[in-house]
């Protein structure tokens, strides 16, 4: 049963009550995941690598509802609607299939980060849901299995099972063997005390979901293949830089990988453009910080918001520069923890 080190005061927390609560944090990819080779199994085309944040946690409770005929979903206390709700229901079907059960469930998920704004809410959301749902349905999963399960909800969620830095292996081929080979795990990091300064430029939902945008990019962008090839080389260089604790190399590789990913989207037909004028203002500010001798590097996901990688000791200076250049709210994050049941940390 236990996927976690359950509190002795609540030894049967999930098995008797059929309910569990989990917390997970978003992660920001330094080597991006962009493009699937299997939509249903969420198998990516390339490996990716991320840092888990210590801000913007998602807390999710899953409670089995044996008498109910349908699942129920609540986002921040309000009934879930639309695509976001549909994704959770499909995910519950995957959990039920894995557990060999048919019971319906009530999902209550609370995000502290704006949803669908390219701030990795789906990573924290599906990591927390995977851990809570696995426990509520009595699945005995280790962290690798939880990472595979979270992947089925949202690819990037596979990495939020882990704290610190994590690599998500693409695996090869298709089918069940490929499914087994595609999971995240922690990566070794040398002497590094990094921060990500998050510039909240626009927290509204994005016009095109990352799922649709990456599919269009793979299908139509002539730049996709070259980027995917260079991303494989970037990942190898990034791992070396992380082991050496070389923040400048880590940052340079992360920035070029992210800009390359956005270039693939700009070349898609029709183009997908998430970057806004405010994004470019922050990019210029970060370039100027580097000219002034501060190690700072930008990365952007499926939205206009910029995350700036720097040494933790420089984070306030970077935050001040970004805030005054873009007149925006700024949040400083360090390396965060992996997903956990509320009553204890994942063990296996």
- Minimum CB distance to ligand PMV smaller for 217 or for 340: 217
- Minimum CB distance to ligand PMV smaller for 119 or for 136: 119
Q: Using CB under 6 A, pick the residue from 6, 22, 25, 32 that binds ligand PMV.
A: 32
Options 77-85, 150-158, 188-196, 327-335: segment touching ligand PMV (CB under 6 A)? 150-158
Q: Using CB under 6 A, pick the residue from 33, 137, 183, 224 that binds ligand PMV.
A: 33
Question: Dihedral of CA 64/65/67/68: which sign?
Answer: negative
Tokens of 279: 């994004």
Q: Using CB under 6 A, pick the residue from 29, 92, 117, 136 that binds ligand PMV.
A: 29
Of residues 265 through 304, those in contact with ligand PMV by CB under 6 A are: 301-302
3-state secondary structure of 101: coil
Residue 78 CB contacts under 8 Å (≥ 6 apart), including other chains: none
Residues 201-220 as x/- pattern, contact with ligand PMV by CB under 6 A:
---------xx---------
- Alpha-carbon span 220 to 239, nearest angstrom: 30
Determine if 255 is a binding residue for ligand PMV (CB under 6 A): no
- Alpha-carbon span 237 to 111, nearest angstrom: 34
Determine if 183 is a binding residue for ligand PMV (CB under 6 A): no
- Minimum CB distance to ligand PMV smaller for 89 or for 106: 89
Determine if 156 is a binding residue for ligand PMV (CB under 6 A): yes
Going by the DSSP 8-state scheme, the letter that residue 312 receives in this structure is: G
Options 27-35, 64-72, 77-85, 216-224: segment touching ligand PMV (CB under 6 A)? 27-35
Of residues 82 through 141, those in contact with ligand PMV by CB under 6 A are: 122
Phi, psi of 296 (to 5 degrees): -145, 135
Options 5-13, 88-96, 152-160, 171-179: segment touching ligand PMV (CB under 6 A)? 152-160
Q: Least separation, in Å, of the C-beta of 313 and ligand PMV?
A: 26
Stretch (H or E) spanning 37: strand 36-38
Mind giving me the DSSP string for 124-145? HHHHHHHHHHHHHTT----HHH
Q: Least separation, in Å, of the C-beta of 328 and ligand PMV?
A: 20
List, edge to edge, every strand of the sheet that includes 340-341. 78-79, 72-75, 104-111, 58-65, 19-24, 340-341, 344-345
Helices (H) and strands (E) in the chain, counts: 10, 17
Residues engaged in binding ligand PMV (CB under 6 A): 29, 32-34, 48, 122, 154-156, 210-211, 301-302
């Amino acid at each position: 049963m236990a996927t976690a080190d359950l509190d002795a005061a609540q030894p049967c927390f999930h098995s008797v009550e059929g309910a569990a609560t989990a917390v997970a944090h978003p992660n920001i990819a330094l080597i991006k995941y962009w493009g699937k080779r299997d939509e249903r199994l969420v198998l990516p085309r390339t490996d990716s690598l991320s840092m888990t944040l210590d801000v913007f946690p998602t807390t999710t409770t899953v409670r089995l509802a044996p008498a109910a005929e349908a699942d129920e979903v609540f986002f921040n206390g309000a009934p879930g609607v639309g695509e976001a709700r549909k994704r959770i229901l499909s995910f519950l079907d995957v959990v039920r299939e894995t557990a060999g059960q048919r019971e319906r469930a009530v999902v209550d998920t609370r995000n502290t980060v704006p949803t669908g704004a390219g701030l990795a809410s789906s990573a924290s959301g599906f990591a927390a849901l995977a851990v809570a749902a696995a426990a509520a349905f009595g699945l005995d999963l280790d962290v690798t299995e939880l990472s595979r399960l979270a992947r089925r909800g949202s690819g990037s969620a596979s990495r939020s099972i882990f704290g610190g830095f994590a690599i998500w292996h693409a695996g090869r081929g298709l089918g069940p063997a490929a499914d087994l080979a595609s999971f995240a795990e922690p990566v070794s990091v040398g002497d590094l005390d990094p921060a990500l300064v998050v510039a909240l430029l626009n927290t509204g939902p994005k016009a095109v979901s990352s799922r649709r945008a990456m599919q269009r990019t793979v299908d139509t962008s002539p730049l996709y293949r070259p980027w995917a090839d260079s991303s494989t080389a970037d990942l190898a260089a990034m791992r070396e830089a992380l082991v050496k604790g070389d923040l400048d190399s880590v940052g340079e590789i992360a920035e070029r990988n992210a800009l390359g990913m956005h270039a693939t989207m700009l070349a898609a037909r029709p183009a997908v453009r998430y970057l806004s004028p405010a994004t470019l203002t922050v990019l210029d500010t970060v370039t100027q910080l580097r000219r002034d001798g501060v190690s700072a590097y930008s990365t952007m996901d499926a939205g206009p918001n910029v995350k700036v990688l720097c040494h933790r000791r420089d984070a306030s200076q970077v935050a001040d520069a970004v805030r005054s250049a873009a007149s925006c709210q700024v949040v400083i994050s360090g390396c965060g923890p992996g997903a956990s049941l509320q009553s204890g940390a994942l063990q296996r």
